[in-house]
Chain A
Amino acid sequence: MCFNSTLAYYHIIKLKFMAYSEKVIDHYSNPKNVGTLDKSQKNVGTGLVGAPECGDVMRLQIEVDESTGIIKDAKFKTFGCGSAIASSSLATEWLKGKSVEDALKIDNMEIVEELNLPPVKIHCSVLAEDAIKAAINDFRVKNGMEELKFEGSVIH
Chain B
Amino acid sequence: MIMNMLKLPIYLDHNATTPCDPRVVEAMIPYFTEHFGNSASRNHPFGWQAEEGIDYAREQIAKLIGADPKEIIFTSGATEADNLAIKGVFDMYASKGNHIITATTEHKAVLDTCKHIEKSGGEVTYLEVDPEGMINLQELEAAIKPSTILIAIMYANNEIGTVQPIKEISRIAKKHGVLVFTDGTQAVSKIPVDVNKDGIDLMAFTAHKMYGPKGVGALYVRRKNPRVKVTAQMDGGGHERGMRSGTLNVAGIVGFGKACEIAIQEMHTETERVSKLRDKLENALLKLEEAYVNGSRESRLPHVSNISFKYVEGEGLMMGFNKDIAVSSGSACTSASLEPSYVLKALGLGDDLAHSSLRFGLGRFTTEEQIDYTIEQVSKTVIKLREMSPLWEMYKEGVDLDKIEWAHH
Contacts and interface: CB of A to CB of B under 8 A. Distances in A.
A82 interface: yes
B322 to A, nearest CB: 8
Contacts of A55: 313, 315, 331-333, 338, 340, 351, 355
Contacts of B351: 52-55
Interface string A55-92: 11111000000000000000001111111110000000
B335 A123 contact: yes
A54 B406 CA distance: 10
A49 B338 contact: no
Contact of B388 (A51, A56, A78, A155): A78
Interface in B346-367: 350-352, 355
A13 interface: yes
Contacts of A84: 313, 316, 333
Interface in B256-312: 311-312
Interface stretch (A98-106, A114-122, A140-148): A114-122
A20 interface: yes
A77 to B, nearest CB: 4
A121 B336 CA distance: 9
A50 B313 contact: no
Determine which residue in A54, A58, A85 has the highest number of CB atoms from chain B within 10 A of its CB, and name it.
A54
Interface stretch (B214-222, B245-253, B389-397): B389-397
B152 to A, nearest CB: 30
A13 B355 contact: no
A57 B390 contact: yes
B342 to A, nearest CB: 14
A115 to B, nearest CB: 14
Determine which residue in A48, A51, A58 has the highest number of CB atoms from chain B within 10 A of its CB, and name it.
A51
Contacts of A79: 311-313, 316, 389-392
Interface string B1-42: 000000001000000000000000000000000000000000
A94 interface: no
A26 B408 CA distance: 29
Contacts of A123: 335, 409
B406 A51 contact: yes
Category for how many chain B residues contact A: 20 to 34
A84 to B, nearest CB: 7
A121 B401 CA distance: 25
B406 A53 contact: yes
B224 interface: no
Nearest to B329: A81
A98 B351 CA distance: 37
Interface string A98-136: 000000000000000000000111111001001000000
B334 interface: yes
A50 B323 contact: no
A82 B319 contact: yes
Nearest to B387: A34
A48 to B, nearest CB: 7
B335 A82 contact: no
Contacts of B311: 79
Nearest to B404: A48
Given A81-B313, A81-B319, A156-B409, A52 B352 contact: yes
A119 B335 CA distance: 8
Determine which residue in B331, B389, B390, B406 has the highest number of CB atoms from chain A within 10 A of its CB, and name it.
B390
Given A52-B401, A56-B333, A120-B335, A81 B316 contact: yes
B407 interface: yes
A10 B341 CA distance: 30
Contacts of B392: 79
A57 to B, nearest CB: 6
Contact of A82 (B312, B315, B352, B393): B315
B406 A50 contact: yes
Given A81-B333, A119-B335, A53 B409 contact: no
A130 B313 CA distance: 20
Contacts of B391: 52, 57, 79
A31 interface: yes
Contacts of A119: 335
A28 B316 CA distance: 9
A43 B343 CA distance: 46
Given A25-B319, A79-B392, 5 more contacts: A49-B407, A49-B409, A51-B409, A52-B391, A79-B390
The 3 closest A-B pairs by CB, nearest first: A51-B406, A53-B351, A52-B352
30 contacts: A13-B9, A28-B316, A28-B320, A48-B390, A49-B407, A49-B409, A50-B407, A50-B409, A52-B355, A52-B406, A53-B352, A53-B355, A53-B406, A53-B408, A54-B409, A55-B338, A55-B355, A56-B333, A59-B390, A77-B388, A78-B389, A79-B311, A79-B313, A79-B389, A81-B315, A83-B333, A85-B316, A121-B334, A123-B335, A130-B407
